[in-house]
Amino acid sequence: MSRVVARGPGRVNLIGEHTDYNDGLALPFAIDRGVTVTAEPLPGDRVEARALDLGEEDAFALEDAESASGWRAFVRGTVAELRAAGHDVRPCRITIEGDLPHGSGLSSSAALEAALCLALLEDDDVDRVELAKLCSRVENDHVGARTGLLDQLAVLCGEEGRALRIDFRDLAMDAVPLELGDWRLVTLGSGASHEHAGGGYNERRAECTAACEALGISSLRDATGAGGLPGPLDRRVRHVLSENARVDAMAEALAAGDLERAGALLDASHASLRDDYEASVPEVERTVAALKDAGAAGARMVGGGFGGSVLALFPPGATPPDGSVSVAPGPAARRL
Ligand code: GLA
């Protein structure tokens, strides 16, 4: 093993939120900001890891990566899952740095998982869907967040200049050109950090499972309506069904170059996430309002919700608020 440097990008989900774990549809893309992981060989039988941005360190035996919390859970979990999948992880020193704020809703988690995998693998010519599933196991089984596959697929399979329409029923992926002309997409942090392993996200997921049980179906993709369900399950189902429809409406709007319509779909997605999925918080609402006041054609929360960032589409001539960052589809995770 020689020194390997790998980059995992963050992601923005254009539309299709809380649909991945319901066998639904989403339209994410990888962005330029991300996490860089460097792995250098070490003698012995240990892994040493440093998170430069946090000024923290970790060290553990390769053979016995006991569980931990925070960023250490990602490193130890990735090493454990790579080994469990039969990969020969060597003793090494890992250095992590990035320009993607943790808890921003732009998937610093998947960026870190993907960069770790590509830095630690003996050979990066691997099936990326399988790798996304491995990264998802890190998050589910080692970090404790019952997240779906959206972030990992976006980060590992994204394409420059295009969003990725993902059908989570069969993991079919179709690239959708994102041609915005003089329009632009920006994200703006709400100031409220979100944590998947804590609370709201896992609770919504459990509600979707409860709704399936009540409807006698195995996935909300098979639901035809929310009729008869008690609240809040009826509202959760209504969000998932309407959000799936908005993903295809967005792909059609983009193909037709109808960016006013794309903006309206962002607004409708946000309203559904706020009112039916109840995944918003006051800081996110204030951020959406600031973006709309500045002239956004549409704005919505991105990612798991309960904090994080807001995505907005601006027409030519409008000026996004201070702190907004332009985002565009960049390359997938890769070795540098
Ligand atoms: C987080 C999860 C994803 C997905 C989104 C909501 O980003 O990691 O799996 O569920 O929330 O769409």
CA-nearest residue for atom 11, ligand 1, is 304
pLDDT at residue number 66: 83
- Cα separation of 289 and 1, whole Å? 51
Ligand 1 centroid – CA 196 distance (Å): 9
Ligand 1 centroid – CA 150 distance (Å): 6
Residue to mutate (ligand 1; options 11, 136, 151; most atoms within 8 A of CB): 151
pLDDT at residue number 195: 61
pLDDT at residue number 101: 73
Residue 199 backbone class (left: φ over 0; alpha: ψ -120 to 50; beta: rest): left
Give the gyration radius of the chain's Cα atoms. 20
pLDDT at residue number 99: 92
243 Cβ below 6 A of ligand 1:
no
158 Cβ below 6 A of ligand 1:
no
Residue 284 backbone class (left: φ over 0; alpha: ψ -120 to 50; beta: rest): alpha
Ligand 1 centroid – CA 95 distance (Å): 26
Give the nearest ligand 1 atom to 148 CA.
9
Give the nearest ligand 1 atom to 19 CA.
12
Place of tokens 């460097």: 38
20 Cβ below 6 A of ligand 1:
yes
151 Cβ below 6 A of ligand 1:
yes
CA angle 111, 274, 110 (to 5 degrees): 5
Per-residue pLDDT of the chain (336 residues; tens, 9 = 90+): 689 999 999 999 999 999 999 999 999 999 999 999 999 999 999 999 999 999 999 999 998 888 899 999 999 999 999 999 999 999 999 999 999 877 678 999 999 999 999 999 998 899 999 999 999 999 999 998 888 999 999 999 999 999 999 999 999 999 999 999 999 999 999 988 766 545 788 899 999 999 999 999 999 999 999 989 999 999 999 999 999 999 999 999 999 999 999 999 999 999 999 999 999 999 999 999 999 999 999 999 999 989 999 999 999 999 999 999 999 999 999 999
- Cα separation of 218 and 212, whole Å? 6
State if pTM tops 0.75. yes
18 Cβ below 6 A of ligand 1:
yes
Q: Rounded to 5 degrees, what are φ and ψ at 303?
A: 85, -155
Spacing of C-alpha 316 from chain mean position: 28
150 Cβ below 6 A of ligand 1:
yes
Q: Which helix (H) or strand (E) holds 104?
A: none
Which residue type does 4 have? V
- Cα separation of 235 and 276, whole Å? 5
Ligand 1 centroid – CA 60 distance (Å): 30
How many helices (H) and strands (E) the chain has is answered by 8, 13
Omega before 232 within 30 of 0, i.e. cis: yes
Q: Which two tokens stand for residue 65?
A: 């990566």
307 Cβ below 6 A of ligand 1:
no
Q: Which helix (H) or strand (E) holds 82?
A: helix 71-84
148 Cβ below 6 A of ligand 1:
yes
Q: Which residues are catalytic?
A: 151
pLDDT at residue number 1: 65
CA-nearest residue for atom 9, ligand 1, is 148
pLDDT at residue number 102: 72
CA-nearest residue for atom 8, ligand 1, is 147
